[in-house]
Structure 1
């Protein structure tokens, strides 16, 4: 697809998302609210939003409209979506699993806005380069570090199932990425389920070996979410944010080296490491659709069957489109 066609595809996706946002039924008294003084956006050290932040175009556009962007960094998705559920954020980007956990929380007001193209190679299960573990089956009885509720959590579940193992066949060690990296480095755990940029850093600086990545196991979508009340009151802000995400996706797709250099000025982990991660990342904003609905429901059903969710989750209740056809 050439640049013009990609741009048209992004705009089509955006138009669908914005229609969906406007089509949410309003609560009594919610009509045409003026723009707020700020929009609170949660991001991680990966994905499109950190590039949006680094480029600064969104901040400049919203500043001209009298709106400040308050950027809030999170180590991984679940704490970010907890903040979204608590109305401490207005917009968030996470992996494909955190929204499902967030929807299981009491009183969740989360709504899906769109998602990025699948990037299954952007997450993996790592072992030390000299570890005597030949495949996923070799994880039986082993300690595996993973961030609870993250995209890597679901990857680990799916990988184990592919080798005929269940969740109880390993010793999961729930750790945030920084703590997991330390545990992996000193041998306190036998394996680590993780995503980029942490994945690329471990490969490039520690010689970590990929036991399995997400290919043929998970899709690893980056998912954009908000709160229903915020979208009802301020759909124009969602429009502006999503437009800039689409533009940044298009830029990053064709300017990988520049994107790596831009990020390195913020992260300081090395251009080669960032370029490695960016090159295996897919870009492209998609609207809420049947593919997203089905994928998210499958994750929800899997997690509930394993007893990892406190209640069943009906993803359709959080879709921003009024009708999703199979």
Structure 2
């Protein structure tokens, strides 16, 4: 199927039912098995993602035809509620690829067979990047983003064990506060607006688009802090070791399509925001436009020593809070060969990204050593 046909078919569907659940149905737009003139059919691939703005590259890439360009017929699962659900589907063989962040750490420790073959969010040029994170405080809280000591004694809503919890830890560390200096209230992102409005929390720390929607929904609430480079933000394209070993060419083509979609989003954030309204249930255009301004800063599919360092850092932070076991060996889970091949053969897809420090560049077979990576990667 040509790129134009795929795009028009998806748009036609979204015109009838504006939510992804109405369009995907667990299938691609075109499930034909024979190509034109009896040509060999595209390779069928199944993939899944979580309904989040930073995971848009997968469905947007399908819509734009970038997977078609790589001779891949990608079947999208309906969006998963969480990364845990996505990983369970991968383990069960329901999908070939998923996009997952911090839940991959606990899953790996529990024995789920997985490898990381690329990134959907993060940075290969530095350690800490968190532009999609923000603190939204109630008007009565007295929290000042320019003076984080004002967090002392406040009730902070985060999802314990998730990236927003780690962002709070990063803020406290920079300010010199301890976790005991604040009251952590375990709150799921969809519940944060109600908790802030009712006074159950004084501030919500969460990822886009929730900071934007919470500020709109709660009178007097405002975003008091955005990003700041307090923590690494990690998000990986994940498959199984078996699939990666048996289908190296498919992995390469899949990552090429994803890198193409990422560059398109970086260069066309407003158009990407428009796509978000079709693929992320309930997303409004104005919210997507604002969120995409921050999201595109983290669309870096490359691998370097900085990505290994980011995962190791996040794992250590989670272990310190008792959310995962200590001692994760990140070398066991990275498979850099496929994305390094994409980087070498498609340099134009990455030319608009910040240059990776020379000492942070890696080759296939790289072994992570924390001390060396810390020297190589700007914080």
Report TM bin, short chain. Answer: 0.7 to 0.9
Q: CA RMSD in A?
A: 2.9
Q: Distance between the aligned counterparts of 2:224 and 2:291, measured in 1?
A: 17
Structure 1 counterpart of 2:241, from 225, 228, 234: 228
Structure 2 counterpart of 1:216, from 224, 229, 243: 229
Which residue of structure 2 aligns with residue 41 of structure 1?
Answer: 48
Check 1:320–1:59 CA distance in 2 against 1; reply closer, same or farther (3 A cut): closer
The count of aligned residue pairs is: 288
Q: Which stretch shows the higher mean deviation, 186-195 or 51-60? A: 51-60
Which residue of structure 2 aligns with residue 24 of structure 1?
Answer: none
Q: 1:40–1:90: 8 Å Cα contact kept in structure 2?
A: yes
**Larger RCO (CA within 8 A; separation ≥ 6):** 1
Q: In the alignment, does 2:118 pair up with 1:114?
A: yes
Q: Distance between the aligned counterparts of 2:300 and 2:118, measured in 1?
A: 7
Aligned counterparts, 1:282-297, within 5 A: 282=297, 284-297=299-312
Q: 1:76–1:150: 8 Å Cα contact kept in structure 2?
A: no
Q: In the alignment, does 2:143 pair up with 1:129?
A: no
Deviation at 1:290, TM superposition (A): 1.0
Structure 1 counterpart of 2:318, from 303, 313, 323: 303
Which residue of structure 2 aligns with residue 30 of structure 1?
Answer: none
Q: Distance between the aligned counterparts of 1:129 and 1:51, measured in 2?
A: 37
> What TM-score comes out, normalization by structure 1 length?
0.76
Which residue of structure 1 aligns with residue 366 of structure 2?
Answer: 323
- Structure 1: gaps spanning 5 or more residues: 1-34
Q: In the alignment, does 2:283 pair up with 1:279?
A: no
Deviation at 1:41, TM superposition (A): 1.7
- Structure 2: gaps spanning 5 or more residues: 1-41, 124-128, 337-364, 373-379
Q: Partner of 2:53: helix, strand, or coil? A: coil
Q: Distance between the aligned counterparts of 1:114 and 1:291, measured in 2?
A: 13
Q: Distance between the aligned counterparts of 1:60 and 1:138, measured in 2?
A: 52
Check 1:43–1:49 CA distance in 2 against 1; reply closer, same or farther (3 A cut): farther
Q: 1:214–1:220: 8 Å Cα contact kept in structure 2?
A: no
Q: 2:90–2:98: 8 Å Cα contact kept in structure 1?
A: yes
> What TM-score comes out, normalization by structure 2 length?
0.66
Deviation at 1:36, TM superposition (A): 8.1
Superposed CA deviations along residues 63-82 of structure 1, whole A, max 9, x for unmatched, are: x75x5513231334344335
Q: Distance between the aligned counterparts of 1:222 and 1:255, measured in 2?
A: 21
Check 1:259–1:49 CA distance in 2 against 1; reply closer, same or farther (3 A cut): closer
Superposed CA deviations along residues 240-266 of structure 1, whole A, max 9, x for unmatched, are: 321221111121122222222222244
Q: 2:155–2:201: 8 Å Cα contact kept in structure 1?
A: yes
Q: 2:77–2:95: 8 Å Cα contact kept in structure 1?
A: no
